[in-house]
Structure 1
Amino acid sequence: MKFTSTLQFNCVPDWAEHYISYSNLKKLIYQIEKGLISVPIVPEDIEAVEVSPLLDSKSRTNSIFIPALDKELAKISIFYISKEKELFDEVTSLVHDYAVFENLNDSLSVHSNSLVTGLSYQSSESAFSQGRSSHPIRRSRSASDAATSHVSSDDDENYNYSTVNLLEGRLPYMWGPPSIEERRIHLKKRTVELFVWLSELKSYSSLNKTGFSKILKKYDKVTSSNLKDSYLSNVVNDAYPFKASTIKKLEDHILKVQEIYSYLCTNADMDIAIRELKTHLREFIVWERNTIWRDIISLERKSHAVGVKAPVAVEQLVETPANIQTPFGMVIVPKTFWRSFLLLLVCIAAFLFFLNANFFKKEEQNNCFALLILASLLWSLEVIPLFVTSLLVPLMVVCLRVLRSDDSPHKRLDAHETTKLIFSTMFSPVIMLLLGGFAIAGALSKYHIAKMMATIVLSKAGTKPSFVLLSNMFVATFASMWISNVAAPVLCLSLIQPILRSLPPDSSFGRCLILGIALASNIGGMASPISSPQNIVAIQNMDPSPTWAQWFFIAIPLCIIVDVLIWLLLLWNYQPHSDSLTIHPIRSTRDPWTGTQIFVIVVTIITILLWCTEKQLESFFGDMGVIAVIPLVLFFGTGILTKEDFNNFLWTVIILAMGGIALGSAVHDSGLLHVIAKTFQSMTSDLDVWQVFVVFAFLVLVVATFISHTVGALIILPIVAEIGDKLGGSHRNLLVMGSALMCSVAMGLPISGFPNMNAIMMEDEMGLRYLNIMDFVKSGIPGSVLGMLAIVTIGYGLMLLIGF
């Protein structure tokens, strides 16, 4: 395996940016190789640093490469020193707490004093060596022992209280001191966690040293130099993280933790203690690598599309392709090709039928209706990729000449005029809003801001199943507001892996928790204008466009209410409180906030505030789409996001939205939308606004359950908007926003949105899926109905309250 991959899959994900920038150094080597022919140029991204004393050869190539190495070495050293201090302080605290625990346990064996004196890393290391020469962590009654046990019997109550604070994060207990066993379990957890992170720090040093050796070897090979030996021996080996004394000190602290664990858990048997600690370390590494790198990076990259296919059965994956003999040889055709081909023929046949049926008086309306049928079938059946259908829309609009002139409604525009109009319509301010949302989501994900916020909240959830479930659901909903309800469930499902691994195989809580995150992520799709594409489609069809404050006023209370209703439904269906569960708490990140993260948060908050007050600033900004330029300029202009991040935007979603806007414009400008709206109006003439709202809410719920939420919005929302205009009092925005919210709560089946698809693919260590179809039938369908009831009652009232 190449070292680039080794580094990627063996580094600590939370520390990824603090490792050696191996890929960048490789790029620099290749630039230097090209520069050997011409004049070498220092790359712009390499900052000026002090010249290494090794530059006695005055090599032009070394003068470029060595400063880059020095910069990486300084970065690694600064991070290692800060982490070492943090972890060593934790070890010192643990040692002291363990000594106090020994006194509370009334086991006045002689091993704690040596620990307190010998394990304080600022003290003489020889004291520690003497303390473990006869037996690890053995102590005698000495001054330090007297210091920890000098409290008289009159002061026992105060002593116990201060000890409780010490062992439990130094926070006072409201309900009295914990038992000895509870203190022991708490110390064990701290010991395991410290062992894991000390081992990770040791791996950090080893991996970076290997990185310097590998990159220097490559540099020497490419440039025919002899830099490796001198730089490793004179510079790298003298750097603090790689000194022998540093590694020895780290190993001593690891040994201290192992000894404490042995006396807490294995009756001082060091061999068993080390085996158990290594097991904990192995489980932790598997979780970190699998859930963080595989789920967040791989799955998120593969699944960033609106029209994600439903899970494929194993039998379908191993189908034998069909062989067709032709005059030109044997052609291998997958069996699924015939299904797609037949569906495509059905779509084309339906298009040709409606194109020649003359259901409407005007030719442009009849042509537009045929185009609407074709696009709807292609989007619904996904015969071809969704964005390809969107690209087909402007082509068909021009060729079929479906647009009419605004000045003269009876005049059809020619192909040239239609082309200019349809392409000017496709790139609207709403598309710019979508790009701004992608920039914010990209920055929040790239710099782990979303993950840090999520772990901080989830670490406070405790171990009660109902609270853990509710906390995870709220985190999934909140994350969906900003990083989309495609990436949010991937992030949240990766964070609960320690909980899932600690559950018994037959526990219902695992299914309940996975399903809760999936349904909450769907609900989060309606929380903000940028949380899902159907909201962008809704804003395009609303007149006037709603402000962010108006959207939040309606959507956030609905999200909270529907989350709570589904939480109660899941508790009723799965009854996790009836199981005797031991829930592994989620560990909160301890990394401090960096300047870059703070800058991203500040820019995000300012952008959202400007979006919320856009109506008041309309004379200056003009539209929300212009405000969306701010995060794009600041993030890409400062280098926080790069061109690779720009290329990774969900361009398929953007093209899909642009195609939907083009189709909506064609249906409107051809006059077809007016005719359809009049037909629906006559069918619902006896109904009031609320009844019409309920009818369309139910229609959207059914349609969006079986097809993509965005596709359902693209097909239905333009019709809903026109009908809203025809109702008395112009309730266009009420019907459009209500229908868009209904798209998000359509979550009754595994194929109803990406969160459900991702959830049903979750497997345990044995390769068995946690969820099946019946889980969605008994929770997803009732959850959708509860969401609909909340929208047509509370949501309806909130929309009327703000004048929709």
Structure 2
Amino acid sequence: MKFSHSIQFNAVPDWSSHYIAYSNLKKIIYQLEKAVHQSAGGDAESRPLIQNDDPDAIFIRALDVELEKITSFYSVKERELFEEVDQLLRDLGSFEEEQAGSDETLPPTTRTSSQPNNKYGRNRAGSLQSVSEDGVEDSDDEGDETTGLTRKRRNSFGRRRSVPGPPTATDMTASTELTRSVRRQSTTYDDYAEQAVMFSSGIMLKRRIIGLFVSLCELKSYSQLNRTGFRKVLKKYDKILDRQLQRKYMASFVDTAYAFSPDTLQRLEEYIAKMEEAYATIVTNGDVELAKRDLRSHLREHVVWERNTVWREMIGMERRAEAASLGRTLLGATDPTRLLQGDDEALPPTTEIKTPIGRFTCPTWLVGSTMFSLLTIIAIFIALLYIPIMQAPEQQNCLAMLIFVSLLWATEAIPLFVTSLLIPFLCVLLNVIRSEDPPYVRLDSSAATKYIFSAMWTPVIMLLLGGFTLAAALSKSRIDKRIATFVLSKAGTKPSTVLVANMLVAAFASMLISNVAAPVLCFGIIEPMLRNLPAGSDMSKAVIMGIALASNIGGMLSPIASPQNVVAISIMKPAPTWGQWFYIVIPVGIISLLLIWVLLLVTFQPGKGTVIVPIRPVHDRFTGVQWYVATVTIGTIALWCASSKLEPVFGDMGVIAIIPIVLFFGVGILTKEDFNNFPWTIIILAAGGLALGKAVRSSGLLDTIAGEIGVQVKGMGLYGVLVVFSSLILVIATFISHTVAAMILLPLVYDVGLNMETDEPHPNLLVMAGVLMCSSAMALPTSGFPNMTAIMKEDPAGQRYLQVKHFISRGVPSSIMTLLVVITVGYGLMRVTGM
């Protein structure tokens, strides 16, 4: 959690304006950064507001203002609370003396067995009159307030508020046990009244003790939170401007300020201890440890009840912001009016329609283009079920299902993963599964269900889970950021070098932590550089575009970099090892990246009038957890690379993927929340693709279609088929999801290659080229997650850095260049490996 949010979460609501202005201090840091790094030349509009002054002096002045504000508030609040504590202790002494005096007037047989000694002295001037001045707040649970004064102690809590007047009837009757005890101690009406007054006074004192204890603890938290704020904002200042101000300022000013000095904090602890002793005297019969536990319980309840609304609203805002940044909602864009109303769950937008029987309110998508698309697709599906195209009924049904699912995936009329879940349902309902051995007969529903669900959970899915686990561990331990900043810090300030360094880092990050998370990481790292570039700078456009295109290329660099690679591995027989994969894709990826880099340099010309802010590496030492994560990650990848040699031991790469899952989740580095945050929609999507491939193959439809296509390409050599299918997949994957294109087309490509009339079929080669082209499809802003992330990147003024025209003019040539590299260099490397 960001510290600016942590202050809001943990601050006392009534004191919120008296905490350190952490966000404002960060803004000053960014202004100073721009003043230091941005050239003094250029037009007046682009020059920073803060000029010709020492950044340290400017920032120290801002810190001094905050320090004075915090110290002044602390002094006033401390004096107020300490006076209340002293008054309370005097009232407690008077209460004890009056209680002892009333006990002496009772008959010997009705006196209480034990009374605590008066440790606070007699002070009639500060009598119980002050109780009504401080007052108490009526509570819905008065029984808890009273039972703390009986022999059976129970935790309770109350808040102080000015409520003058005599004790309420609830105070008198909250605990029947205590009431019976009081009646046994008194034989006259006067004795009973006197006991009731003493009893009610004890309740008020207990409440005042709890309230003051909570306030003192809040004051202690106020001091600690603000000190942490100074330390963090100084650390950020030193990091961004490469200074050494933190240690000096903290030692000279913060640590010696009254609000943070050791003597002040020690005195505050003493007053907190006094409240614990007072609570022990009046409630727990002298048991200080029990008093401490009770008071801590009251403090926790106070935090829950007093700040519950603030926390809920803040967390709701965080969740909505995170959801908005990750993608669209299930049924469309979130209605902004719902967000302003503070709802945790934003409902889809609605519209009102008129019908002959009245007006109805329904979701907008039901009457929009999405509903029209969905109805059209369903109509096509029903028509294909009855129009005779294939001879076998199971193939006819499977063709209808294949086109139906493909159209749903292509149009995203419903979420992709929901479409995937429809596949096993339709496979069983349409009875498209046949037996694996001749004579091929259609399986009944029970046998088909077992077959299709077994196809959805394979070692390939475990491989995908293992990749997500490695990515989560690297991200959580911040190893990915350390590696990225280290590499980028060596790039210097030359625009062309900085651009290629960012592209290489994005590709490498995509290879390890997927091409979905990699651009988000890289955009966060280059944020300081983007802040200091002039508005509309070509360097900003070039580096953001470069990261997006490089992340797409990085999606082909390892088997776990993207879901389509996992789909391809599940299709190829035998599956390639990690070593074979790297041997092919690393040269292809590097050459493609260099060609795209040259294209960006020529088209954007980012070096004109650009001053780059250098990125500094993280200097913190590797922790034990980071060493552990790095060792397990390297070991797992090494086992995957040697999986062909270790097949007698592990059997499949999916079994090896269990190792990091156990080692990271088992020791607590990753938690249940991390597991729940895995992109399960992608896993379901991949599982649905595997099921579809099994169904199309089992029904015999794949063989039939592959045979027809084989007739069309008859006479063409392997290279000609490679060029045709690579181009076709590139075009289709540009307009639909890369993973969906792989799931639909790669099984077909494999069967075409398997049935080619050549001496040596090469289905694996065609599938490998096809999956590389899926990752190479990057011509449009919607072509893959990296492009969608880049097009939404905005500058501080809220303007997008890139437009659609930038992607078309650079993405189309990049895709074509990558296609040429795959069908030349990639083809040669695949032939060398024996594919």
Alpha-carbon contact 2:352-2:359 (below 8 Å) kept = no
**Which residue is equivalent to 1:412?**
442
Q: Which amino acid aligns with 2:818?
A: G
Match of residue 709, structure 1, among 716, 724, 738 = 738
**Which residue is equivalent to 1:640?**
669
Match of residue 614, structure 2, among 585, 600, 609 = 585
Q: For the residues of structure 2 that align with 1:385 and 1:320, how far apart are their CA atoms?
A: 17
CA 1:399–1:650 in structure 2 vs 1: closer, same or farther (change >3 Å)?
same
Alpha-carbon contact 2:640-2:653 (below 8 Å) kept = yes
Q: For the residues of structure 1 that align with 2:604 and 2:636, how far apart are their CA atoms?
A: 41
Alpha-carbon contact 1:323-1:331 (below 8 Å) kept = yes
1:774 aligns with 2:805: yes
Q: For the residues of structure 1 that align with 2:391 and 2:260, how far apart are their CA atoms?
A: 74
CA 1:200–1:603 in structure 2 vs 1: closer, same or farther (change >3 Å)?
farther
**Which residue is equivalent to 1:748?**
779
Alpha-carbon contact 1:308-1:754 (below 8 Å) kept = no
1:803 aligns with 2:800: no
1:475 aligns with 2:528: no
**Gap regions ≥5 residues in structure 2:** 12-20, 27-143, 156-216, 285-289, 297-314, 341-347
Q: For the residues of structure 1 that align with 2:771 and 2:704, how far apart are their CA atoms?
A: 23
Alpha-carbon contact 1:364-1:402 (below 8 Å) kept = yes
Q: Which amino acid aligns with 2:470?
A: I
**Which residue is equivalent to 2:245?**
195
Q: Which of 586-595 and 366-375 deviates more?
A: 586-595
CA 1:305–1:689 in structure 2 vs 1: closer, same or farther (change >3 Å)?
farther
Q: For the residues of structure 2 that align with 1:38 and 1:387, how far apart are their CA atoms?
A: 56
1:384 aligns with 2:434: no
Q: Which of 709-718 and 582-591 deviates more?
A: 582-591
CA 1:737–1:320 in structure 2 vs 1: closer, same or farther (change >3 Å)?
closer
Question: 1:133-212 to 2 correspondence within 5 Å?
Answer: 193-195=243-245
Match of residue 528, structure 2, among 498, 517, 520 = 498
Offset of residue 308 of structure 1: 10
Offset of residue 497 of structure 1: 1.2
**Which residue is equivalent to 1:338?**
368
**Which residue is equivalent to 1:757?**
788
Q: For the residues of structure 1 that align with 2:603 and 2:502, how far apart are their CA atoms?
A: 18
1:784 aligns with 2:834: no
Q: For the residues of structure 2 that align with 1:746 and 1:313, how far apart are their CA atoms?
A: 32
**Which residue is equivalent to 2:473?**
443
Query: Counterpart of 1:576 in 2: which secondary structure?
Result: coil
**Which residue is equivalent to 2:393?**
363
**Which residue is equivalent to 2:430?**
400
Match of residue 552, structure 1, among 558, 575, 582 = 582
Percentage of pairs with the same residue? 48
Query: Counterpart of 1:369 in 2: which secondary structure?
Result: helix
CA 1:446–1:676 in structure 2 vs 1: closer, same or farther (change >3 Å)?
same
Query: Counterpart of 2:368 in 1: which secondary structure?
Result: helix
1:488-526 deviation digits (Å, cap 9, x = unpaired): 001101111111111112321111111000000011000
Q: Cα RMSD over matched residues?
A: 4.5
CA 1:635–1:407 in structure 2 vs 1: closer, same or farther (change >3 Å)?
same
Query: Counterpart of 1:522 in 2: which secondary structure?
Result: helix
Offset of residue 588 of structure 1: 1.2
Larger radius of gyration: 2
Offset of residue 730 of structure 1: 2.1
Offset of residue 303 of structure 1: 6.3
CA 1:601–1:311 in structure 2 vs 1: closer, same or farther (change >3 Å)?
farther
1:245-292 deviation digits (Å, cap 9, x = unpaired): xxxxxxxxxxxxxxxxxxxxxxxxxxxxxxxxxxxxxxxxxxxxxxxx
Q: For the residues of structure 2 that align with 1:376 and 1:407, how far apart are their CA atoms?
A: 28
Offset of residue 330 of structure 1: 3.7
**Which residue is equivalent to 1:666?**
695
**Which residue is equivalent to 1:684?**
713
CA 1:584–1:228 in structure 2 vs 1: closer, same or farther (change >3 Å)?
farther
Query: Counterpart of 2:493 in 1: which secondary structure?
Result: coil
Offset of residue 755 of structure 1: 0.7
Q: For the residues of structure 2 that align with 1:197 and 1:774, how far apart are their CA atoms?
A: 49
**Which residue is equivalent to 1:143?**
none
CA 1:378–1:191 in structure 2 vs 1: closer, same or farther (change >3 Å)?
closer
**Which residue is equivalent to 2:92?**
none
Q: For the residues of structure 2 that align with 1:517 and 1:208, how far apart are their CA atoms?
A: 48
**Which residue is equivalent to 2:752?**
723
CA 1:199–1:800 in structure 2 vs 1: closer, same or farther (change >3 Å)?
farther
**Which residue is equivalent to 1:244?**
none
**Which residue is equivalent to 1:616?**
645
Query: Counterpart of 1:352 in 2: which secondary structure?
Result: helix
Offset of residue 391 of structure 1: 0.3
Q: For the residues of structure 1 that align with 2:260 and 2:359, how far apart are their CA atoms?
A: 53
Query: Counterpart of 2:361 in 1: which secondary structure?
Result: strand
Offset of residue 410 of structure 1: 2.9
Query: Counterpart of 2:622 in 1: which secondary structure?
Result: coil
Query: Counterpart of 2:573 in 1: which secondary structure?
Result: coil
Q: For the residues of structure 2 that align with 1:736 and 1:758, how far apart are their CA atoms?
A: 28
Q: For the residues of structure 2 that align with 1:677 and 1:197, how far apart are their CA atoms?
A: 71
Q: For the residues of structure 1 that align with 2:666 and 2:624, how far apart are their CA atoms?
A: 16
Alpha-carbon contact 1:483-1:531 (below 8 Å) kept = yes
Query: Counterpart of 2:531 in 1: which secondary structure?
Result: helix
Alpha-carbon contact 1:310-1:750 (below 8 Å) kept = no
Q: For the residues of structure 1 that align with 2:317 and 2:735, how far apart are their CA atoms?
A: 26
Q: For the residues of structure 2 that align with 1:612 and 1:673, how far apart are their CA atoms?
A: 32
Alpha-carbon contact 2:536-2:801 (below 8 Å) kept = no
Offset of residue 295 of structure 1: 15
1:537 aligns with 2:587: no
CA 1:569–1:228 in structure 2 vs 1: closer, same or farther (change >3 Å)?
farther
Q: Which amino acid aligns with 1:754?
A: F
1:532-568 deviation digits (Å, cap 9, x = unpaired): 0000110011000110111111111111111100000
**Which residue is equivalent to 1:513?**
543
Alpha-carbon contact 1:442-1:645 (below 8 Å) kept = yes
CA 1:762–1:336 in structure 2 vs 1: closer, same or farther (change >3 Å)?
farther
1:452 aligns with 2:482: yes
1:569 aligns with 2:569: no
Q: Which amino acid aligns with 2:506?
A: A
CA 1:716–1:345 in structure 2 vs 1: closer, same or farther (change >3 Å)?
same
TM-score with structure 2 setting the length: 0.63
**Which residue is equivalent to 1:44?**
none
Alpha-carbon contact 1:399-1:415 (below 8 Å) kept = yes
Alpha-carbon contact 1:747-1:780 (below 8 Å) kept = yes
